[in-house]
Amino acid sequence: MSELVFQTITELSGRLATGEISSAELTRTFIARTKSLDQRVHAFNSFDAGDALAQAVASDERRAAGQSRGPLDGIPVGLKDVIAVTGQPLTASSRMLANFVSPYDATVTARLKQAGAVLWGRLNCDEFAMGSSTENSAFGPAANPWDLARVPGGSSGGSAAAVAAGEAVATLGSDTGGSIRQPAALCGVVGLKPTYGLVSRYGLVAFASSLDQIGPMTRTVEDAAIMLGAIAGHDENDSTSYRSQIPDYRAELKRRPGPWRIGLPREYFGEGLDPEIGAAVEQAVAFYRAQGCEVKPVSLPHTPYCLDTYYIIATAEASSNLARFDGVRYGHRSKDAKDAVDLYFKSRSEGFGPEVKRRIILGTYVLSSGYYDAFYLRAQKVRTLIRRDFLKAYEEVDALLTPTSPVPAFKLGEKSDPLALYLCDIYTIGVNLAGLPAISVPCGFTRAGLPIGLQLIGQPFQEADLLALAHVYERAHDWCRRRPAFAAVASSG
Please identify every residue annotated as catalytic. Answer: 80, 155, 179
Count Cβ atoms below 10 Å from residue 417 Cβ, excluding itself: 8
176, 190, 112, 124: CA torsion to nearest 10: -60
Q: Residue 359 corresponds to which amino acid?
A: R
Rg (CA), the chain: 21
CA distance 464 to 115: 20
Least distance from another protein to the Cβ atom of residue 4, Å: 37
Contact between 425 and 310 (Cβ < 8 Å): yes
Q: Which is nearer to another protein, 7 or 91 (CB)?
A: 91
Cis peptide before 194 (omega within 30 of 0): no
Helix, strand, or coil here: 218? Answer: strand
The CA distance from 123 to 115, in Å, is: 20
Q: How far is CA 242 from CA 141, 194, 225, 347, 439, in A?
A: 35, 12, 19, 37, 20
Q: Could you tell me which residues come within 8 angstroms of residue 276 by beta carbon, excluding any fewer than 6 positions away?
A: 408, 446, 447, 452
| DSSP-derived 3-state class of residue 467 | helix
Smallest separation, CB 365 to another protein (Å): 5
**How far is Cα 3 from Cα 485, in angstroms, rounded to an integer?**
14
Nearer Cβ to another protein (104/287): 104
Task: Tell the smallest beta-carbon distance from residue 12 to another protein (Å).
Answer: 34
Query: For residue 119, which of 81, 149, 156 has the smallest C-alpha distance?
Result: 81
Measure the CA–CA gap between 335 and 347, rounded to whole angstroms: 8
Q: Quote the least distance from Cβ 439 to another protein, whole Å.
A: 17
Secondary structure (3-state) at 120: strand
In whole angstroms, give the CA distance from residue 448 to residue 428.
24
Q: Least Å distance between CB 184 and another protein?
A: 22
Q: How far is the CB of 421 from another protein (least distance, A)?
A: 11
Nearer to another protein, 58 or 98 (CB): 98
Distance CA 297, CA 292 (A): 16
Which of 262, 300, 302, 261 shows the shortest CA–CA distance to 281? 262
Beta carbon nearer to another protein, 33 or 359:
359
Nearer to another protein, 17 or 372 (CB): 372
User: Quick one: 28 or 333, whose CB is closer to another protein?
Assistant: 333
The count of residues in the chain is: 493
Give, as one character, the DSSP assignment of residue 207.
S
Identity of the residue, 104 or 445, whose beta carbon is nearer to another protein in the bound complex = 104
| Residue 393 CB, nearest approach to another protein (Å) | 15
- Contact, 288 vs 296, CB < 8 A? no
Q: How far is the CB of 274 from another protein (least distance, A)?
A: 21
Q: How far is the CB of 233 from another protein (least distance, A)?
A: 15
Q: What is the DSSP letter of 11?
A: H
Please provide the DSSP assignment of 59-90 as one string: HHHHHHTT---STTTT-EEEEETTB--TTSB-
3-state secondary structure of 399: strand
| Residue number with CB closer to another protein (46 or 99) | 99
* Residue number, 208 or 399, with CB nearest to another protein: 208
